[in-house]
Chains A and B, each alone.
Chain A
Amino acid sequence: MAERIIELRDIKKSYGQVYALGGVNLSVDRGEVVGLIGDNGAGKSTLIKILSGVVRPTSGEILVRGEPVTGWSAARSRDAGIETVFQDRALAVQQTIVRNIFMGRELTGFMGWLKVNKEIEEASRLMREIGFTSKVFTPHSIVGQLSGGERQGVAIARAIYKQAELIILDEPTTALSLTETAKVFHFVRQVRASGRSILFIGHNIHHVFDIADRFVVIDRGKVALAADRSQVKSAEDLINFMEDVAHPGGLPGLHEAVGAEQRAR
């Protein structure tokens, strides 16, 4: 069995009286792409924030490579080889591309002085590697002047810099053009080919179905479905399942209509 990069056991998170997550189990093995699907408000964002260490769970256990961790934080998560590309991309838009790529991980030498040339070199290499260099911008360009796809490129470059073992992509194709979306998919396949893992969050089920080895559907703070690719025949299966989850037993007419429409395409 492949090595288990991270495992969440019975993770609960409540904000006051409201439960965002009510006992979630989730794991990602080396070299697999896990697709995480869920409606708005299902608890996806909370789950991602817990994985990336931004939010601490109310209860439950986090295991990194089989070892339980304590004092989980954003810095600890990154040190453990988990990089997150957040939905809002988490960029500082008034700063240069270089400063964003090395945010929180500045390349420093003696007494914390920046290795400016090394940073520029590495930034150039990273951006070339993922192919986000079609427009003429430089490492000194201000991120606020870049397009959505180029910003996504910066966020991804930052995630791959340290040879992360698990990259979490939170809605990476939202607001991207078709070409840019294709680039993101190409990147995901590249990462899997290199033996690393991806947790891919999306609400476009077709996108997730195309790319994931395993599917996890969460609904109202719980895992509603965890299935291998072999168990799910088509994206329509997933869509039907999602609808059943959303409207258990009800609205068969709508169900049929949507199914027919999907088949017609």
Chain B
Amino acid sequence: MEPDLQNQFSGPGGDTAGKEWRHPSDQWLRGFVLDNRASLGTLAVFIVMMAVFMIANPTVFTTWYLYSSVLTTLPVALFVVVPLVFVVTCGEIDLSFPATMGFAAWVFALVVQAGYDPFLGIAAALVTGVLLGFLVGSLVVYGGLSSLIATLGMNFLLRGLIQIINEGKSMALTGLAGSTAYKIFSSQVFGIPVQIFWAIAFVVLSAMLYNRHRFGAQVKVVGDNPDSAQQMGIDVKRVRVKVFVFVGIGAAIAGTFSVMINFTWWPTAGDGYLLPVLASVFVGGTPTWGGIGTVAGGAIGAVTVSFIQTGVVAAGLSGFYVQFFNGLIIILSLLGHKWNQARYR
């Protein structure tokens, strides 16, 4: 997205008025690397980490089972990591997505348990996600509240509501196993969990929204300089509400997938995703201050984070190391991204 200007000042600022603007790189590879340095950096971190794991325990890391188990749970995280990149780019944060996941999944479970088609359940979950996203977004934007605190409050509030009504009881949905929806969204193709394909499609579509759509363009501008965006006639509040609705949609999909994987809905569904998902966004190279970010980086960040836990245990280290490595990877990634991000400020 941004060329390296340092090498471009060709002598005294000669008159180039007649020339067409070109990408400063004549080699597409160099341009590609410069444009995607944040996500490529994240990819490098991931590759190094995997190499360390593989050297530590080659036998485990060459068996398919390990990857298959990561590919089963990773998609759930991806569906929320990607919308969160939009929220953080917009200069906000959303900590209410775990409860939205649980809430939307609950609606899905209720519809399925009542004997309706799972597709109807998915539709109901999506509507729930949109409504909750709109509720949270409106509270933050029109209520003028800090998104950090308000979404944290909404997370407790919604989760509490779920717990009160269900009294902590889970729902088993054994009927899902034979349904068409299950085959399409949660079965296996050639031994690969099919949900990863849906997640990849979601990531690709979102990356296009981020880079090649008016929505992404306005999200970036609003996160960068909300006053300017307003002066240029952008409805800043509306853009902000939209990113929260997007998180609601992502959380609803994630919650539904998590139920379809386990055939069970728990009142705590989604809770465990809060910290890994947030870590993924920032490990992926999206800075905290808004205006810029990377969807592809966030996705690679999610892959990295979900391999840490599996990897540490599989590499033969005790479970006590998991947290340590989680922290180590986060800190190393942030240090790595720092030199890239410094030039924007």
Contacts and interface: CB of A to CB of B under 8 A. Distances in A.
B and A form one assembly: yes
B225 A96 contact: no
Given A92-B225, A92-B291, A112-B215, A136 B9 contact: yes
Interface residues of A, number: 47
B292 interface: yes
Which label, helix, strand, loop or mixed, suits the secondary structure of the A interface? loop
B338 interface: no
Contacts of B10: 136
B321 to A, nearest CB: 37
B21 A131 contact: no
Interface in B190-244: 208, 212-215, 217-218, 220-221, 224-225, 227-235
B214 A92 contact: no
A141 B5 contact: yes
Contacts of B231: 52, 54, 74, 84, 86, 90
A123 B22 CA distance: 12
Interface in A53-109: 53-54, 73-75, 77-78, 84, 86, 90-96, 99, 102-106, 108
A90 B225 contact: yes
B233 A74 contact: yes
Which label, helix, strand, loop or mixed, suits the secondary structure of the B interface? loop
B3 interface: yes
A136 B22 CA distance: 10
Interface residues of B, number: 43
Contacts of A114: 212-214, 217
Nearest to B234: A104
A68 B229 CA distance: 26
A263 interface: no
A145 interface: yes
B16 A136 contact: yes
B24 interface: yes
Interface in A110-155: 112-114, 116, 120, 123-124, 127-128, 131, 133-142, 144-145
B328 interface: no
Nearest to B290: A94
B13 interface: yes
